[in-house]
Amino acid sequence: MSISDIFQALGPHPIAGGCPDCDSETRFVTHAPGVYVMEIHHDDTCPDYIARRARGAAS
């Protein structure tokens, strides 16, 4: 099993955690064949997420 196989298997399933400040979920998203991006989805009340949005580093 390759690392691509692992990311592909994990992709559609959210993984609990990723941020120590909130109840976030992490997902691995395929952007192109063999290219994966880890996305962390924070709670709206997360202090880190609020700070990132304030400086334009998150949407």
pLDDT of 44-58, one tens digit each?
999 999 999 999 988
Residue 39 has pLDDT above 80, yes or no: yes
What pLDDT score does 30 carry?
Answer: 86
CA distance 50 to 48: 5
| DSSP type of residue 13 | S
How wide is the angle at C-alpha 19 spanned by C-alphas 13 and 23, nearest 5°? 65
Q: Minimal CA–CA distance to 22: which of 55, 44, 37?
A: 44
Q: Is the pTM above the cut of 0.85?
A: no
Question: In the predicted model, what is the mean pLDDT of the chain?
Answer: 88
What pLDDT score does 31 carry?
Answer: 86
